[in-house]
Structure 1
């Protein structure tokens, strides 16, 4: 992150008065620029959206989306480096809770070291290009799959959750076609159900993205794209902390890539919330 701050600082004398306002905001609140649209940034400092975009181009980026991706990545790297530095050495009298939390921290650090950004970006591109998205998984993975499916549908408006115990599952299979995408959560214990679903999806021309824990996962035989992430297990209870971290990164990349579409869909939902007076 420091190299990016230096780059902005070195270019600062060349900025217009409006661009300097954007630069000042970046120095104070880089996280705001990382997860806000160019329009929102412009409103914050009272300049136009185009001024914000030209500011990023002045820094050498093709546009705001590319700059935002770099900031997000650097902020994530900075935070994970700090987290890694804070992992304590095993201590004999450390509490059970501390040991459990250390295991989750370690799983995220491992994800940081093993995940390849180019693979993640390919997954995001495929999600953006899909005609229709179906999310499925082993029944142990249903909760996290349902959560991710719900967000994708909220953001992009073309996602369905698949579960083989429902009659709708077979209707979804019958409609699946080339251009569609199946995202499958395949963590131990692997079930025949999800493998059969992937086999059917491939036979109908759909692409498959698999999130799994191992290169030995049986789902890899049907995958076009694979994201591997460890699931931490203690006392026969799986912790999906690192999986959540990976999915949150995917969601943020999708937001940056499809910002206009996501904001429009979120605005529709917010309008209904206000109409029904949902929140306090």
Structure 2
């Protein structure tokens, strides 16, 4: 039985105040892994002592124990959300021509999507993102699952350009929470967010925005969970007939963003020789 099921089981026997706490926890399960006792007290408008008694009612001796149960719940939801995110098309035969036909169809789809992306590049957003990166003392890149691929790629590009870039694996809840607490003026947060969206990312983005730092989200849609908390968006369509996410367009976007940074920070006389080093 997970923590939410346990709360549901005890709910009929809770006091009015305890039910209000239970309602908040049930409505915001992903938030509890990152919230402090004082913050939860403020959000639920009950005293810290009442919250601690509620924890004991659930069988948790401390608030940390309650957070650990919610962390376990969140991790389970992450595993469910990260399960098989693609399908394998049925082949009419096992012969090479059939495989080639499917591959050609996939290639044509990617080429069409890439052509549309290039013809409608959001230059204003790319330049604004470049300016924000140049102003930053520390750049925290948050990514999960397949998003770690472009996350690592961006980190390597930024390190080449001597920016202080750190990649945070969102599945490491403890490190994520620690980083959110340490955000300060001069920091920039970059989220990678593609389907299936990482379960707690909306709440994590909310916490980052509450720290008052600028947020750049690289995602497939302005309706993605982190988008509403972001100062800047770079939209990269990723859907294909085979996979939820093709990284063709996100990687292209990052190359364009890195090129913009090079143009901004390298003198004209040095640009070509520096661009040549990027291939390494």
- What TM-score results when the alignment is normalised by the length of structure 2? 0.56
Asked if 1:141 corresponds to 2:127, the answer is: no
**Higher radius of gyration, 1 or 2:** 2
Residue 188 of structure 2: which of 177, 181, 185 is its match? 181
Query: Alpha-carbon deviation of 1:156?
Result: 2.4
Query: Alpha-carbon deviation of 1:225?
Result: 0.6
Asked if 1:100 corresponds to 2:106, the answer is: yes
Residue 206 of structure 2: which of 199, 208, 223 is its match? 199
SS at 1:144 equivalent: helix
Asked if 1:130 corresponds to 2:144, the answer is: no
What RMSD, in angstroms, separates the aligned Cα atoms of the two structures? 2.8
The answer as to whether partners of 1:133 and 1:182 remain within 8 angstroms in 2 is yes
The answer as to whether partners of 1:107 and 1:232 remain within 8 angstroms in 2 is no
Corresponding pairs, count? 175
Structure 1: tracts of 5 or more residues without a match: 1-91, 271-278
Asked if 1:246 corresponds to 2:253, the answer is: yes
Q: Deviations over 1:22-60 (max 9, x none)?
A: xxxxxxxxxxxxxxxxxxxxxxxxxxxxxxxxxxxxxxx
Query: Alpha-carbon deviation of 1:138?
Result: 3.6
- Alignment match, 1:78: none
Structure 1 residues 150 and 93, CA, compared in 2 at 3 Å: closer, same or farther?
Answer: closer
Indicate the structure with greater helix content: 1
- Alignment match, 1:216: 223
The answer as to whether partners of 1:130 and 1:180 remain within 8 angstroms in 2 is yes
- Alignment match, 1:115: 121
Using CA pairs under 8 Å that are at least 6 residues apart, name the structure with larger relative contact order, 1 or 2.
2
Paired with 2:160 and 2:132, the residues of 1 have a C-alpha distance of: 17
Paired with 1:164 and 1:249, the residues of 2 have a C-alpha distance of: 25
Paired with 2:178 and 2:233, the residues of 1 have a C-alpha distance of: 26
SS at 1:151 equivalent: helix
The answer as to whether partners of 1:183 and 1:210 remain within 8 angstroms in 2 is yes
Q: Deviations over 1:132-181 (max 9, x none)?
A: 10111242312211221222123223110011344443332222112211
Structure 1 residues 115 and 128, CA, compared in 2 at 3 Å: closer, same or farther?
Answer: same
Residue 241 of structure 2: which of 210, 231, 234 is its match? 234
The answer as to whether partners of 2:215 and 2:230 remain within 8 angstroms in 1 is yes
The answer as to whether partners of 2:218 and 2:234 remain within 8 angstroms in 1 is yes
- Alignment match, 1:77: none
